[in-house]
Structure 1
Amino acid sequence: MKLLAYFLTWVWVEYGKTVSTLTAVDELLFLGEVYRVLVIAPLRVAEDTWSTEVEKWDHLKHLKISKIIGTKSNRERALMADADIYVTNRENVDWLVKYCFNRWPFDMCVIDELSSFKSSKAKRFRSLKKVRLYFKRIVGLTGTPAPNSLIDLWPQVYLLDGGKRLGKTIGSYREQYFTPGNRNQFVVYNWNLKEGAGEAIENKISDICVSMKAKDYLDLPERIDNIVEINLPEKAKDKYKELEKDLVLELGKEDITAANAAVLTNKLLQMSNGAIYSEDKKVVKIHDEKLKALFEIIEAANGKPVLVFYSFKHDFDRIINFLSSKKLKAVGLKDSADIKRWNKGEIPILLIHPASAGHGLNLQYGGNIIVWFGLTWSLELYQQANARLHRQGQKETVVINHIIAKGTVDEDVMKSLGNKKVNQNILLEAVKARLEKYKSEAI
């Protein structure tokens, strides 16, 4: 495993993580070290990225790729195909394990975006755990192994080594390295690192991990982060403050949990963006200020393609309709055909939800301008989404625009993302600060 790690280190400097891994896999296949390789990736990455990389590089074009995606009959046919590498999406892991369990055909596994296996309770983790002993080699790829907390590392490392380094159970891992944080009786909402635990964990896994920062090895383009502030109209501002006060005061300080804090801030983020879902699931429009700001950014781009990240379904619909009224066509990312069209410069405005395209997609050839119409509390999604354009192969300075509604929760999220410390504690503290504010005003 160490030899493979060193090989990946060298080749990663020259290329990207997908082609580096493919090059290593090709070498292992040639040497007879492995025979059938399974790649598990996010759906859009499974559909497009791995096969595209094989087609792009001359030294890899002989590799045969079979995609275990789509309908049950398509997946079964893909399994029967003669190939070197079989690519599936993570949602199909449970089906694949059940279907092939008695005749497991793969002796190497590559998990593209290992951090998507950070939950020990998730079905995909439990299923892959059942067959991990059948793999001679397991490789995990991720740029954000523990974006929220080192507690997320245990399931990922367990898949790599079967519990040799961080323990056989998540319970023993927590007991050794963490203390309980916020809790409600027996339910613990977050875990705090013990003193010196971070360094101890890093030392434990250092022999099987290669950590590389792109800026240290690659000539990446410049990145400009731009804050585009908007002022809510007075009526919208009043509605926002009224909603914020009502939601916050509904919670007693002792009752604030990560779950209900997330619900509260989710509603406030919706209103910041300009609309909110009512109790009967209807969309109530509040303002168009972010839409106007987005239009100005697109106009200033002067015909250059713009990649827009949105948060809610009503954001998507409102953006499409508003830009259409301005004679501009925006489309949502549907499949690999759209990725190719974008990279060819055929899509002027592409809308993507960060959760569906945050990992692995190569979009750097189609443009260099990003707009965050609505922000996310997830540091992992935020970082990975920006990396769709700010990555190797990008030829221009990447401009990342954040549309921020002044005096709203947008400012809290932007500050936390800038500090790279977005987690449940930050979310809870933001809500508690508002609670104290409104309580003091009531006195």
Structure 2
Amino acid sequence: MSSNIIADVRLSESLDCLVITPRHSTDYHALSGVFKEALPAVKVRRSADGVWIAAEEVSALFDVEVAADLRWSAEAKLFAENRQRARQVHQHLYEEVSNIRVGGRDVANTYLTDIEGLDVLDDHQRVNIAAMTIPEGYGLCVFDEQGAGKTVTLIFALDVLVARDEVDFALIVAPKSMVPEWPRDFMRFKSDLYKVEIVSGTRKQKGIALGSGADILVTNFETAASMEDELRSLLRSYQGRAMLVVDESFYIKNLDARRTQTLRRLREWCGRAFVLCGTPAPNAPQDLIQQFNIIDFGITFDGLKIPDNRAEALQIVQQAIEKRGLFVRHLKSDVLPDLPIKSFNRIFIPLQPQQERVYAAALRNLILDLRSTDDKTFQRQLTSFLARRSALIQICSNPASVVEGYTEVPAKLHALDSILSEVIGKGEKVVLWSFYTASLNAIVNRYSHFNPVRYDGTVSDVAERREAVRKFQDDDHTMLFVANPAAAGAGLTLHRARLAIYESMSNQAAHYLQSLDRIHRRGQTRDVEYLIILCDKTIEIEEYERLTRKERAAQELLRDEVEEPITRETMLLKVIAASKLLSEEK
């Protein structure tokens, strides 16, 4: 409706509302009254910029006549249209996805009667593809456990959407270590049907890739952020027929992170979006929120206030995804029943004499400083205190990078001497995880006679990383794979080994949980064992317990029904209990 009030409608920087700004400053008050009259059920807010309407309510603008001449930006118009479209079909999609999940393969097949060539897929992958390609759908969270075949699922889902003439282009954003795997997997399953290009290198090389006419572009989170304008222009040119894929989507769990903001903006120009992750909530229930927001424009958590307390948030988040969320989740134990068992053994070792003195001094000084610091100062210096706590764990691994002049062989290297000699002496390959560069350096040098390959931040060349994996998998003389779980924890297949040793680990649960599945995945034929080396009577033990608590909390959040892993401690407790029963009978 035309009026004397002319106002510009634009999208807020934070993507949480539309801002309507009158072109004449004298119209601010009148504009607010116009919107309150037109939208009595909507909370219309005012700011110095004009009137703003929250994201969950913007679709109401299309349902009424507003007594103002609104001049929409392209981004604002699309933002409102996307949310209107999603709200119109969300309940229907939720019911369809739920029906497919419950009905399994038989129901999934009824959605795929027009598609051939799916016989190579497992039943759960058919379920995923049916849910991902529902007509009028706009996205799905694929939370299948690591090693259950999410990449294959995505490739065939894209194929279905292309065959139905719904999608012309896909942008895949993944961690750096995963980027080169996508073109290889497309070639493996679809030969040269699609032109797949990696967006990497110099800015000029990235520009060439963007202009290559590829059907699928693959890039990392950092490049997506730095090339956002170019990617947005490309996606916009496909007029809603582009598809966004976020691989290992726990990387976008933080709303304030640049990568998250970038992908939220790019998602607006894509007709469909899929997030893939086997460990979507490694730290807290809140980790799930932005992943769902990417695919459903905020509908799952619309109107909910999520408390900061993790325990309090768990039930709220759990109920939201179960009652509104569009997602699938399959565990390896359910879909790969023949996969061998895995067991965990913790090895407790004493610190070496000099190492113990260094650790005790660092611990004592930290305690003294904490006791003499007030709460306000502590919060101001929190980063420093956390670094000192982290240093304690690093000392347990190798004090050389913390203490100048440290020459003693650390305790864990002594333990590894005997473990590796025994295991590799029997012809077994080993994956050895360590989080610290100094420790990785020492390990590679000390065990050079096992022909180790290395995969961490010091190996930046993609081809060199790929060659490290190939040699470990294929070369009978390469017996040791030495890696940082932050760099190599996701996506790699290392099942030539049945033993993984943790010399030290990241403080991020996601890195640890992802790394576990490098040897326990499709193609593994032998029982898998994990050795966790911990320095006795140190903070390291509690740190590992913290990671396992996070693992259990994530399983509870997604209602995973999993058996407790076999450990030496649990087995010992059970046989002692059995022994007591026998004694009672006597």
Instruction: With the length of structure 2 as denominator, give the TM-score of the two structures.
Output: 0.63
Cα 1:116–1:163 change in 2 (3 A) is: same
Q: Is the 8 A contact 2:285 2:313 kept in 1?
A: no
Q: Is the 8 A contact 1:273 1:373 kept in 2?
A: yes
Structure 2 counterpart of 1:411, one-letter code? I
Counterpart selection for 1:24 from 157, 166, 178: 157
Q: 1:122 & 1:284 partners in 2: Cα distance? A: 38
Which residue of structure 1 lines up, in the alignment, with residue 194 of structure 2?
Answer: 63
Matched, 1:353 2:484: yes
SS in 2 for 1:177: coil
Which residue of structure 2 lines up, in the alignment, with residue 134 of structure 1?
Answer: 269
Q: Is the 8 A contact 2:232 2:269 kept in 1?
A: no
Counterpart selection for 2:447 from 323, 329, 339: 323
Question: How many equivalent pairs are there?
Answer: 399
Matched, 1:177 2:309: no
Q: 1:303 & 1:421 partners in 2: Cα distance? A: 32
Q: 1:100 & 1:61 partners in 2: Cα distance? A: 24
Which residue of structure 1 lines up, in the alignment, with residue 293 of structure 2?
Answer: 158
Q: Is the 8 A contact 1:270 1:276 kept in 2?
A: no
For 1:36-435, list aligned pairs within 5 A: 36-47=169-180, 49-57=181-189, 59=190, 62-104=193-235, 105=237, 107-167=242-302, 176-178=305-307, 180=308, 193=312, 196-206=315-325, 208-219=326-337, 220-252=339-371, 255=375, 259-260=383-384, 262-278=386-402, 284-285=406-407, 287-301=409-423, 302-324=426-448, 327-333=449-455, 334=459, 335-345=465-475, 347-364=478-495, 366-420=496-550
SS in 1 for 2:450: coil
Q: Is the 8 A contact 1:248 1:264 kept in 2?
A: no
Cα 1:194–1:229 change in 2 (3 A) is: closer
Q: Is the 8 A contact 1:145 1:152 kept in 2?
A: yes
Q: 1:375 & 1:227 partners in 2: Cα distance? A: 13
Which residue of structure 2 lines up, in the alignment, with residue 432 of structure 1?
Answer: none
SS in 2 for 1:402: strand
SS in 2 for 1:318: helix
Cα 1:337–1:166 change in 2 (3 A) is: same
Structure 2 gaps, min length 5:
1-92, 101-107, 109-122, 129-143, 460-464, 554-586
Query: Over residues 307-331 of structure 1, what are the superposed CA-to-partner deviations in whole Å (9 max), with x where a residue is unaligned?
Result: 111111111111122223xx33322
Q: CA deviation at 1:9?
A: 4.1
Q: CA deviation at 1:233?
A: 2.5
Q: Is the 8 A contact 2:228 2:262 kept in 1?
A: yes
Q: CA deviation at 1:204?
A: 4.3
Which residue of structure 1 lines up, in the alignment, with residue 49 of structure 2?
Answer: none
Which residue of structure 1 lines up, in the alignment, with residue 23 of structure 2?
Answer: none
Q: CA deviation at 1:296?
A: 2.0
Query: Over residues 94-138 of structure 1, what are the superposed CA-to-partner deviations in whole Å (9 max), with x where a residue is unaligned?
Result: 123222333425610111111100111111111122221211110
Cα 1:39–1:197 change in 2 (3 A) is: same
Cα 1:382–1:115 change in 2 (3 A) is: same
Structure 2 counterpart of 1:297, one-letter code? I
Q: Is the 8 A contact 1:9 1:210 kept in 2?
A: no
Q: 2:248 & 2:405 partners in 1: Cα distance? A: 34
Q: Is the 8 A contact 1:305 1:367 kept in 2?
A: yes
Structure 2 counterpart of 1:162, one-letter code? F
Q: Is the 8 A contact 2:355 2:396 kept in 1?
A: no
Structure 1 gaps, min length 5:
182-190, 424-443
Cα 1:196–1:401 change in 2 (3 A) is: closer
Moved more, 300-309 or 249-258: 249-258
Query: Over residues 145-199 of structure 1, what are the superposed CA-to-partner deviations in whole Å (9 max), with x where a residue is unaligned?
Result: 11111122222221111112213xxxx75xx121x55xxxxxxxxx552584243
Q: 1:336 & 1:241 partners in 2: Cα distance? A: 41
